[in-house]
Amino acid sequence: MSLSRRSLLKSAAAAGALAASGDVVAPAIAQNKPVRIGILAPRSGIAAAPGENGIRATQWAADRFNATGGIAGRKIELVIEEESSPKDTIERFSKLVQQEKVDCVQGIISTGAGLALGPVVEEARALTIYWDGTTQDGVDEKIPNPRYLFRSTDNECEAVMSSLLAIKYWKGKFATVAGINPDYSYGRNNMAAFVAILNRFNIEHKVVTEQWPKVGTMDLTSHVAALKSAKPDLIFSSLLFADLPVFMKQAHAAELTKDTKLVLPAAGWQHTLMKKEFTPEGILFGHNTFYFDNPNASPLAKEFVAWYERTYKDYPEWEADRAYFAIASYKAAVEKASAAKSGWPSQNDVIDAMAGLSVESLGGRGSWRKDHIAEQTFVQGLTTHNNKYDFVTLGTFETMYAADLQKPPGANFWDWIKTAQFKV
């Protein structure tokens, strides 16, 4: 059969239109090719440690899945790119989608990069699953009703949970509160949520000082001096990078931690750096969606923690769970859609299968809301020194499901706090 230039152009145009519709079914030959998953995660800079945690968990999951047939019979191949500034991250996302032709993009830790990338994901029509990058600000404007984007929690669940637990444990035992939080939307939102929840429960309090160190500030002695001079009964801090253990060390040296209650909703990101010598017992400490030393952990989580400890001489934190949840969700969605279609599913089939899906992750069962928001289990509790490590773990702890910690679809976070029926 001779192929004229005109018929070739027609075929190309038809293929282009089909691809743009997202309903194209991959030909049989493509099923032998590996599934390419693009990873966008920081490997340098302030978020390098959680980025590496997520990448390691993804690699572990990919190896594990590949050993049992990959995703619907296709092996997984990871293409890793750096998450950095919003502009560069967008460029690397485009590279993953256009040049590397990945089937799905996963990753993103930074709130700023996540917000900037959202509209680009929708425009590129490329299935993307965020590990983190949580915020409640700017989402409605920048990413309303996403089709291709699946995001982690819709607001800072850890702030809501620790605020509720602070009230549960210490109601009536504090009158003055102070905050030291990172100076960007995450830190601002966390502190505002804490104060809003105190108001919601009519907890009489006075905010005596609010400190906003730049992310990654390594000399916090002046902030500690300012907190000490304000004499708060309770300090709320969502510091979560290397600045958190530095703050604790300097606060301990200034004897700020001796009689002050501490609420650290995001401390789990640096849990192995929170050494016993400067982190007292009885601090309210958040591990987000994964507590590595959970005695009730699933066999999957125990296997992962043992592998992580053996391989890296370290203990994983919540970004590992978020990353595992992303890749496990994608695998489950592809296989669900594939079973329904008896063939390799289109991207639209996978997206439809993801919404409402429930999968087992390292931190427990997690699911995807119809509006593409993740729901996972959060862990927080009071610190103890009674363990085999040189850092603090949790003595008594509680778990809460994200459905009880985040606003319902379409709601305004601050309005929701005023009326929500909290279970604590």
Partner 1 sequence: MVAFANILVGGVFHAAVLFLVAAGLQLVFGVQKIVNLACGSFYALGAYFGVSFVGYASTAGLSPWLIMPALVIAGLLLGFVGPPIERLLRTVYSRDESFQLLLTFALVLMFQDVLRFVWGPNPRSLDSAYLVYGVINAREFSVPVYNLLVIAAAIATAAGFGAFLQRTNYGRILRATAENRAMAEALGVDVRRLYAVVFTIGTVLGTTAGALVVPTAAASLDMAIDFVIEAFAVVVIGGLGSMRGALAGALIVGLIRAFAIVVYPEAEVLAIYVIVIAVLLLRPAGLFGRQAS
Q: Within positions 220 to 279, which residues make up the interface with partner 1, using CB under 8 A?
A: 221-226, 228-229, 241-242, 245-246, 249-250, 252-255, 270, 272-273, 275, 277-278
| CA distance readout (Å), 310 to 222, 315, 361 | 40, 9, 20
Q: Which of 35, 49, 116, 195 binds partner 1 (CB under 8 A)?
A: 49
Nearer to partner 1, 140 or 255 (CB): 255
Nearer to partner 1, 211 or 346 (CB): 211
Binding map of partner 1 across residues 139-158, x = CB under 8 A, - = no contact:
--------------------
Q: Which of 22, 45, 86, 395 binds partner 1 (CB under 8 A)?
A: 45
* Both tokens assigned to 343: 């063939």
- Residue 255 CB, nearest distance to partner 1 (Å)? 5
Nearer to partner 1, 167 or 208 (CB): 208
- Residue 405 CB, nearest distance to partner 1 (Å)? 28
- The single residue listed with the structure tokens 């253990």 is 245
Distance CA 324, CA 405 (A): 21
Q: Examine residue 48 and tell whether it contacts partner 1 (CB under 8 A).
A: yes
Sheet containing 364-368: order of strands:
358-361, 364-368, 374-375
* Both tokens assigned to 396: 């008594």
Q: Examine residue 309 and tell whether it contacts partner 1 (CB under 8 A).
A: no
Nearer to partner 1, 43 or 200 (CB): 43
Who's near 332: CB < 8 A, 6+ residues apart? 353, 357, 359
- Residue 211 CB, nearest distance to partner 1 (Å)? 5
* Both tokens assigned to 214: 């730049």
Q: Examine residue 72 and tell whether it contacts partner 1 (CB under 8 A).
A: no
Q: Within positions 370 to 399, which residues make up the interface with partner 1, using CB under 8 A?
A: none
Determine the straight-line distance between the first and last CA of the chain, rounded to whole angstroms: 72
Nearer to partner 1, 200 or 275 (CB): 275
| Residue 39 backbone zone (phi > 0: left; psi -120 to 50: alpha; other: beta) | beta
- Residue 44 CB, nearest distance to partner 1 (Å)? 6
- Residue 110 CB, nearest distance to partner 1 (Å)? 13
Distance CA 103, CA 126 (A): 8
* Both tokens assigned to 333: 């969605």
| CA distance readout (Å), 34 to 74, 79, 283, 342, 345 | 5, 11, 47, 18, 14
Binding map of partner 1 across residues 189-228, x = CB under 8 A, - = no contact:
--------------------xxxxxx-xxxx-xxxxxx-x
Nearer to partner 1, 209 or 338 (CB): 209
* Both tokens assigned to 363: 């931190």
Asked if 81 and 120 touch (Cβ cutoff 8 Å), the reply is: no
Nearer to partner 1, 72 or 254 (CB): 254
Q: Examine residue 314 and tell whether it contacts partner 1 (CB under 8 A).
A: yes
- Residue 16 CB, nearest distance to partner 1 (Å)? 39
Q: Which of 35, 36, 39, 52 binds partner 1 (CB under 8 A)?
A: 52
Nearer to partner 1, 228 or 385 (CB): 228
Distance CA 126, CA 27 (A): 19
Say how many CA atoms lie within 13 Å of 193 toward its Cβ.
32
Asked if 392 and 283 touch (Cβ cutoff 8 Å), the reply is: yes
Using CB under 8 A as the criterion, which residues of the chain lie in contact with partner 1 when the complex forms?
A: 43-46, 48-49, 51-52, 209-214, 216-219, 221-226, 228-229, 241-242, 245-246, 249-250, 252-255, 270, 272-273, 275, 277-278, 314
